[in-house]
């Protein structure tokens, strides 16, 4: 993926119908004691679990993950049986969907304790247990949604309320929950003929397998590449200090990982073109088999859409979205493309001129092409030359701890909240930080934000916000609070320097925090409707709106503290120059976003199986046409595009789509 990909929200609603539960106080088990089996969840796994009072246990063992999954499944079965045993005349909201809503609220902790670890646990055995258990759970759950008898009870409840056997529902969310459950059961294929239901089950299981394998490959990848010190000419010493040292061809060398900070360090700073090219080849030629998994997934999605009478997966998905249909999405993307291409053409020409000058100066041959591995490098140099922007200089003003402090302080002021960091040993890795959020005026507790900021082996390799608990109202009227986790891959601190953020990363940080604050502040009766569970082509808008603050002089002043002397703020002239770069290369970077939108729409709008034979060629062709920069030969960007298996299928355009709303909100509210 291009580095400009806007970080995603990982929305837990998408792959499952179940929701997430309560945590008021977190237990303080020691993360180091992973082998110790006597922990909160394990005790309860042996006994009866009170799901409504379950606390997270991040030092859970692999065995306990499997056991917990079994217990959740058992629990759900008892609720199903309770619903099924209800006589028709007693079917109401409270005895059917209300029970499910409550169950969905309460099993959140157990489910996230099972499935979140595949993305964050430092222990492979636990990641595997997490992947397998959530896959198994999903299969069990899919099966439930095909249970005609449950559907009939819900239908009855609906009828009984409509014909006066029970009072009409008063609460808007109850009404919506009843309708949504009814619709979800209908959509899960219960109206289909027996034969088709069988097919549907088979397709959904295969789809689940394909997407799980895709994600597993991403998380488990351990590719590295060894570059000699001379190959790495230009790359910062600070960065290299954090890399493992080795020897290659008798020369001092470094082991380079494939995480974002390493990739960018090479792409932007390696003087030797061959080094940048090699890095990009190693980086983009991974995950060939993931492209096959994705192709399989798109074929299966088509088959499922067909069963429901839709000609394509995109038409099936888009009918409930703001964009409504594929034509609207394609017109939107095409229109943007046409507007941006002339701008991008100029940007590319400027970079080419620069490349020509620099290669001539160095007495190197000039090939007259802006290669993909040239873009970040010359773009960085141009920023330094044209705008006198030196990222390394700016970085010194954004040590991550200071930025974190200021960012929270800013949110505290704007939203009248109070954020307090507390020590918490019950986390999945010692790096993870725990922040409690309160209402400033009432002192009421609002929820928890976890920050998991640095890359490590086996960790989710993009930037995302995860909802661990979606807040809800208990029967006694008290609230269960939301818990969210930010999972990022910022540069790790080294012994001599803290983690320093470039401005782009500050924006990303602000964006992700925006998602979590959005989640925490939302107050709904049911977890189902909490926080980030809004329309997908709108969910990015609040965070995108908040990004604008990172381009305001007074905010930049506040966020910045020089790491050697925290009283030193970003100087005015530097702020001025930085702000001028707000639209720097927005032609090219937005064309990449448009490319991703088109690719997603293309592979999810196929009308026949394997209609697009070669997905890699499709990418190459579209990139050439839209961005006008050649893709790396024989590379597999679609193998590392987890949005397309993580719920953004036929939905990637949503990033650009919601940007138009966010611009609107920002300029009408704050300007
Ligand atoms: Zn986002």
Residues 171-226 have pLDDT tens digits of 999 999 999 999 888 888 887 898 998 999 899 999 999 999 999 999 889 999 99
Q: What is the mean pLDDT of residues 539-566?
A: 91
Q: Dump pLDDT digits (tens) for 93-115.
A: 999 999 999 999 999 999 999 99
Task: Give the angle 598-603-608 at the CA atoms, nearest 5°.
Answer: 140
44-83 in b/e burial notation, b at 16+ Cβ within 10 A? bbeeebebbebbbbbbbbbebbbbbbebbeebbeebbeeb
Report CA(6)–ligand 1 centroid distance (Å): 6
Q: What is the mean pLDDT of residues 458-466?
A: 89
Note whether 422 and 557 are same-domain residues.
yes
Q: Give the least confident one: 1-10, 66-75, 352-361.
A: 1-10
Note whether 365 and 462 are same-domain residues.
no
Residue that terminates a domain, selected from 181, 196, 211: 196
**Which two three-digit tokens encode residue 374?**
């040239």
Task: Give the angle 366-372-373 at the CA atoms, nearest 5°.
Answer: 75
Note whether 170 and 53 are same-domain residues.
yes
Report CA(650)–ligand 1 centroid distance (Å): 17
Report CA(9)–ligand 1 centroid distance (Å): 5
Q: Write down the residue that tokens 């239901």 correspond to.
A: 197
Report CA(323)–ligand 1 centroid distance (Å): 18
CA 390 centroid distance within chain = 29
**Which two three-digit tokens encode residue 421?**
């960091």
Note whether 276 and 301 are same-domain residues.
no
Report CA(187)–ligand 1 centroid distance (Å): 28
Report CA(462)–ligand 1 centroid distance (Å): 11
Note whether 368 and 486 are same-domain residues.
no
8-state DSSP, 217: H
Report CA(513)–ligand 1 centroid distance (Å): 9
Three-state SS for 399? strand
Report CA(363)–ligand 1 centroid distance (Å): 44
**How far is Cα 256 from Cα 57, in angstroms, rounded to an integer?**
34
- Is the dihedral angle over the CA atoms 593, 595, 598, 604 positive or is it negative? negative
**How far is Cα 250 from Cα 112, in angstroms, rounded to an integer?**
48
**How far is Cα 339 from Cα 408, in angstroms, rounded to an integer?**
37
Check whether 36 has a pLDDT greater than 60: no
Smallest Cα–Cα separation from 42: which of 32, 29, 52, 23? Answer: 29
Three-state SS for 61? coil
Report CA(450)–ligand 1 centroid distance (Å): 16
Per the structure, how many domains does the chain have?
Answer: 4
Report CA(140)–ligand 1 centroid distance (Å): 30
Residues with CB under 5 A from ligand 1 (ion): 540, 543
Note whether 189 and 239 are same-domain residues.
no
The more confidently predicted of residues 453 and 7 is 453
Query: Is 2 within a domain?
Result: no
Query: Is 6 within a domain?
Result: no
Q: Where are the alpha helices (DSSP H) in 464-614?
A: 503-521, 541-547, 553-559, 572-580, 586-603
Task: Please compute, for residue 195, the number of CA atoms within 13 A of its CA located in the half-sphere on the CB side.
Answer: 0
Q: Which long-range contacts (CB under 8 A, 24 or more apart) does 413-418 make?
A: 415/517, 415/521, 416/440, 416/441, 417/446, 417/517, 417/521, 418/443
75 and 54 in contact (C-beta within 8 Å)?
A: no
**How far is Cα 210 from Cα 383, in angstroms, rounded to an integer?**
42
Query: What is the CATH number for 445?
Result: 3.40.390.10
**Which two three-digit tokens encode residue 125?**
């055995």
Q: What is the mean pLDDT of residues 398-420?
A: 95
Report CA(539)–ligand 1 centroid distance (Å): 8
8 and 643 in contact (C-beta within 8 Å)?
A: yes
Query: What is the CATH number for 191?
Result: 1.20.1050.40
Note whether 69 and 135 are same-domain residues.
yes
Smallest Cα–Cα separation from 510: which of 484, 538, 542, 535? Answer: 542
**Which two three-digit tokens encode residue 358?**
């620099």
Query: Is 166 within a domain?
Result: yes
pLDDT band at 377, cuts 50/70/90? very high
Query: Is 164 within a domain?
Result: yes
Query: Is 596 within a domain?
Result: yes
Query: Is 109 within a domain?
Result: yes
Residue that terminates a domain, selected from 161, 180, 196: 196
Report CA(205)–ligand 1 centroid distance (Å): 29
> Which active-site residues does the annotation give?
512
Note whether 557 and 409 are same-domain residues.
yes
Query: Is 131 within a domain?
Result: yes
Strand ranges of the sheet holding 244-248, from the earlier edge strand across to the other edge = 224-228, 251-257, 244-248
The domain of 324 spans 288-387+585-669
Check whether 530 has a pLDDT greater than 50: yes
Check whether 46 has a pLDDT greater than 80: no
Note whether 188 and 80 are same-domain residues.
yes
529 and 176 in contact (C-beta within 8 Å)?
A: yes
Note whether 179 and 238 are same-domain residues.
no
pLDDT band at 60, cuts 50/70/90? very high
427 and 31 in contact (C-beta within 8 Å)?
A: yes
Query: Is 22 within a domain?
Result: no
6 and 25 in contact (C-beta within 8 Å)?
A: no
Note whether 410 and 525 are same-domain residues.
yes
Note whether 404 and 343 are same-domain residues.
no
Residue that terminates a domain, selected from 282, 304, 328: 282
Task: Give the angle 576-582-588 at the CA atoms, nearest 5°.
Answer: 145
207 and 645 in contact (C-beta within 8 Å)?
A: no
**How far is Cα 408 from Cα 155, in angstroms, rounded to an integer?**
47
Report CA(512)–ligand 1 centroid distance (Å): 6
Report CA(367)–ligand 1 centroid distance (Å): 38
């Amino acid at each position: 993926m291009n580095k400009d990909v806007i970080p995603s929200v990982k929305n837990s609603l998408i792959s499952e119908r179940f929701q997430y539960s309560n945590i008021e106080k977190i237990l303080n088990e020691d993360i180091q004691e992973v082998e110790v089996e006597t922990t909160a969840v394990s005790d309860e796994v042996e006994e009866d679990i009170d799901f409504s009072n379950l606390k997270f246990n991040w030092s859970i063992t692999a065995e306990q993950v499997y056991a917990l999954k079994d217990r959740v499944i058992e629990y759900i079965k008892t609720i199903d049986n309770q619903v099924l045993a209800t006589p028709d005349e007693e079917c109401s909201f409270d005895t059917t969907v209300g029970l499910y809503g409550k169950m969905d609220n309460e099993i959140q902790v157990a489910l996230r304790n099972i499935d979140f670890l595949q993305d964050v646990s430092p222990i492979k055995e636990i990641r595997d247990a997490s992947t397998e258990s959530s896959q198994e759970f999903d299969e069990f759950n899919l099966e439930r949604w095909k249970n005609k008898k449950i559907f009939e009870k819900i239908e009855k409840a609906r009828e009984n309320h409509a014909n006066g056997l029970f009072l009409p529902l008063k609460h808007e969310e109850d009404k919506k929950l009843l309708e949504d459950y009814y619709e979800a059961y209908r959509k899960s294929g219960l109206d289909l003929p027996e034969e088709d239901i069988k097919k549907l089950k088979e397709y959904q299981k295969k789809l689940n397998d394909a997407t799980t394998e895709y994600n597993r490959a991403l998380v488990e990848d351990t590719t590295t590449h060894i570059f000699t010190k001379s190959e790495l000419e230009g790359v910062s010493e600070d960065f290299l200090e954090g890399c493992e040292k080795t020897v290659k061809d008798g020369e001092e060398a470094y082991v380079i990982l494939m995480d974002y900070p390493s990739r960018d360090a090479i792409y932007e700073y390696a003087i030797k073109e061959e080094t940048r090219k090699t890095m990009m080849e190693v980086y983009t030629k991974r995950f060939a088999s993931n492209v096959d998994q994705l192709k399989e997934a798109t074929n299966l999605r088509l088959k499922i859409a067909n069963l429901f009478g839709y000609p394509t997966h995109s038409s099936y998905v888009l009918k409930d979205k703001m964009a409504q249909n594929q034509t609207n999405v394609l017109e939107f993307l095409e229109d943007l493309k046409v507007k941006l291409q002339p701008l991008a053409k100029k940007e590319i020409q400027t970079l080419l001129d620069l490349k020509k000058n620099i290669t001539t100066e160095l007495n190197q041959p000039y090939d007259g092409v802006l290669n993909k591995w040239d873009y970040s490098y010359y773009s960085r140099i141009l920023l330094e030359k044209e705008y006198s922007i030196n990222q390394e200089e700016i970085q010194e003003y954004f040590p991550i701890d200071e930025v974190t402090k200021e960012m929270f302080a800013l949110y505290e002021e704007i939203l009248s909240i109070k954020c307090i960091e507390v020590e918490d040993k019950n986390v999945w890795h010692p790096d993870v930080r725990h922040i409690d959020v309160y209402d400033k005026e009432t002192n009421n507790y609002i929820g928890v934000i976890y920050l998991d900021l640095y890359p490590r082996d086996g960790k989710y390799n993009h930037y995302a916000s995860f909802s661990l608990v979606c807040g809800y109202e208990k029967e006694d009227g008290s609230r269960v609070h939301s818990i969210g986790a930010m999972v990022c891959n910022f540069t790790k601190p080294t012994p001599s320097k803290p983690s320093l953020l470039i401005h782009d990363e500050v924006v990303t940080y602000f964006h992700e925090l925006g998602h979590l604050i959005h989640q925490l502040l939302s107050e709904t009766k049911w977890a189902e409707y909490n926080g980030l569970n809004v329309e997908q082509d709108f969910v990015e808008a609040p965070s995108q709106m908040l990004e604008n603050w990172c381009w305001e002089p007074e905010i930049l002043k506040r966020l910045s503290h020089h790491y050697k002397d925290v009283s030193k703020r970003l100087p005015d002239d530097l702020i001025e120059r930085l702000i001028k770069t707000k639209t720097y290369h927005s032609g090219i970077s937005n064309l990449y976003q448009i490319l991703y939108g088109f690719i997603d729409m293309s592979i999810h709008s196929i009308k026949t199986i394997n209609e697009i034979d070669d997905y890699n060629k499709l990418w190459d062709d579209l990139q050439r046409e839209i961005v006008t920069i050649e893709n790396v030969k024989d590379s597999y960007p679609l193998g590392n595009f987890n949005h397309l298996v993580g719920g953004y299928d036929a939905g990637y355009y949503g990033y650009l789509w919601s940007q138009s709303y966010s611009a609107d909100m920002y300029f009408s509210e704050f300007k």
